[in-house]
Amino acid sequence: MNSERVSVPHVLLGLLAAGPRHGYELKRAHDERLPQARPLAYGQVYASLGRLQRDGLVVAAGQEREGGPDRTAYALTDEGRAALNRWLAETELPMPYVSSTLFAKVAVALLVDDVDRTRSYLAAQRQAHTARLRELTAAKTALSASLDDVVAADYAIAHLDADLRWLQTTLDRVADWHREVHS
Amino acid sequence: MTYLQARGVVRSYGPTPALRGVNLDIAEGEVVAVTGPSGGGKSTLLHCLAGILRPDAGEVRWRGERIDTWSEAARSRLRRSTFGVLFQFGQLVAELTAAENVALPLLLAGTGRREARTAALTWLERLGVADLADNRPGEMSGGQQQRCATARALVTEPRVLFADEPTGALDTLTGEQVLTSLVRLAREQGTSVVLVTHEPRIAGYADREVVLRDGVVDHGGLGLETPLAGGRR
Ligand SMILES: Nc1ncnc2c1ncn2[C@@H]1O[C@H](COP(=O)(O)OP(=O)(O)O)[C@@H](O)[C@H]1O
Ligand SMILES: [Mg+2]
């Protein structure tokens, strides 16, 4: 789907907006609030916190005895809050590049003369997309689903739905084009 | 257990072929999405499976028994007792209240008035529109009407629910709320669902998807029998 990189430091700033937290709490909060995102690695959390601290956006807020970063709670500074607000106010460039592997494969497949292989790739890809769509729909309609779960599933479902429509439209378009050229 | 079975079903409207030999099995409690481009034959297949239309050739079986050869009256009885139908526009009776609309299939089946009303109220409650029981369709939003129509389709506790683009006229959120209730309630009572839709997102509610294209089941789902590359110079 979308291979756009998410700014982990900004997400961490957002998670700290409610009050100081430890690194492991941040990881847990991240995975909970962004349930369909790739889970954060601890290393990534501490590396990002280190950079945020260096830039003065967070400060260590009390340490339990001595110890490493896992013993430290971090708090947002005023500059941190300002950086978070700037990030939230900034409009994202809508699709500056079309960077999906699905798109690239279909574009390349249309150039390649191996029709059978292309067909079986597309059929398999469609099946995989549909299966994932069913899985996400089941997850979000489960009685136990939280609002976070539903919102995350909605996002993924909307994109899979768009991919499937685009795939079908492209095939129909190519078939149409082919008919015109050869009639 | 196989509930419904289509074998080599063919159906035309005058010179226009709509189904050109469709095979399909639907098991007890299964939710099957029938998808594909418009004009592909989805509605015609649904009507044949539900015994509303008779195929020109081929067979339709309900629990192993051929129903396509039955008289109109016998098929109509089967529909009333065993099947439920829901269309894109709820098709509620404008002169009746929500409760009366939902009670209607029970009254037609010979249930007493009081009992029918009680069941109707229970189903309106399950669909989250109990407070509209005494409203007429004209006083309801599209989503509320579709919830009532869903209650009416399920009130007889059918073994199969046929739904043709049931969310087609609703906005995304309302549509998904109606569909979530519909699928959940159907699953709770082991009702099979034949869900016709042209939207991939809606097909996500089903256990399985069958793609109809040009009157036949398209196994790849993408219409890949049409030329793809090759001719592109
Ligand atoms: N009542 C009808 N009279 C004539 N042609 C019809 C009628 N209903 C459907 N058709 C034709 O049959 C084909 C299949 O239609 P339909 O079953 O409605 O497909 P879908 O529901 O997938 O859009 C189409 O070519 C359509 O134009
Ligand atoms: Mg139709």
Q: What is the CATH number of the domain that holds A28?
A: 1.10.10.10
CA B183 to centroid of ligand 1, rounded, Å? 26
Give residue A141's pLDDT.
93
Q: For helices A115-141 and B172-188, give the axis angle rounded to 10 degrees.
A: 80
**Considering only alpha carbons, which residue of chain B is nearest residue A159?**
B201
CA distance B28 to B181: 19
Q: Distance from B82 to chain A by nearest Cα, in Å? A: 27
Under the banding of pLDDT at 50, 70 and 90, the label for residue A117 is confident
Cβ contacts of B222 on chain A, cutoff 8 Å: 122-123, 126, 167-168, 171
Say if residue A116 is in the same domain as residue A159. yes
Give residue A65's pLDDT.
57
Supply the residue whose CA is at minimum distance from atom 24 of ligand 1: B39
Give residue A14's pLDDT.
94
Does residue A94 lie in a domain region?
Answer: no
CA distance B152 to A9: 53
Does residue A95 lie in a domain region?
Answer: no
Q: Given A114, A126, A174, which is nearest B221 (Cβ)?
A: A126
Q: Distance from B95 to chain A by nearest Cα, in Å? A: 35
Helices (H), A3-41: 8-16, 23-33
Give residue B61's pLDDT.
98
Per residue of chain B (233 residues), what is the pLDDT tens digit? 899 999 999 999 999 999 999 999 999 999 999 999 999 999 999 999 999 999 999 999 999 999 999 999 999 999 999 999 998 887 899 999 999 999 999 999 899 999 999 999 999 999 999 999 999 999 999 999 999 999 999 999 999 999 999 998 889 999 999 999 999 999 999 999 999 999 999 999 999 999 999 999 998 888 877 655 544 43
Whether A112 has a pLDDT exceeding 90, the answer reads: no
Give residue A176's pLDDT.
78
Give residue A111's pLDDT.
77
pLDDT in tens, B141-181: 999 999 999 999 999 999 999 999 999 888 999 999 999 99
Q: Which ligand 1 atom sits nearest the alpha carbon of residue B215? A: 14
| Of A90 and A2, more confident | A90
CA B18 to centroid of ligand 1, rounded, Å? 6
Say if residue A46 is in the same domain as residue A116. no
Question: Which ligand places an atom closest to the C-alpha of B37?
Answer: 1
Question: Ligand 1: which of B11, B13, B49, B214 to mutate, judged by most atoms within 8 Å of the beta carbon?
Answer: B13
Say if residue A46 is in the same domain as residue A85. yes
Say if residue A69 is in the same domain as residue A109. no
Of the three residues A23, A58, A89, the one that is the final residue of a domain is A89
CA distance B74 to B88: 26
Half-sphere exposure of B120 (CA within 13 A, CB side): 26
Give residue A3's pLDDT.
43
**Considering only alpha carbons, which residue of chain B is nearest residue A132?**
B204
Does residue A146 lie in a domain region?
Answer: yes
CA distance A171 to B218: 14
Q: Which ligand 1 atom sits nearest the alpha carbon of residue B36? A: 22
Of the three residues A89, A114, A144, the one that is the final residue of a domain is A89
- At the top level of CATH, the class of B1-82+160-233 is alpha beta
Of the three residues A57, A89, A121, the one that is the final residue of a domain is A89
Domain of A63 in residue numbering reads as 8-89
Say if residue A114 is in the same domain as residue A158. yes
pLDDT in tens, A13-42: 999 999 999 999 999 999 998 887 889 999
Task: Note the ipTM here.
Answer: 0.86
Helix (H, G, I), strand (E, B) or coil at A120: helix
CA distance A62 to A60: 6
Say if residue A76 is in the same domain as residue A141. no
Q: How many domains does chain A have?
A: 2
Q: Which ligand 1 atom sits nearest the alpha carbon of residue B196? A: 21
Cβ contacts of A116 on chain B, cutoff 8 Å: none
Whether A178 and B204 lie within 8 Å, measured CB to CB: no
Whether B204 and A167 lie within 8 Å, measured CB to CB: no
Helix (H, G, I), strand (E, B) or coil at B9: strand
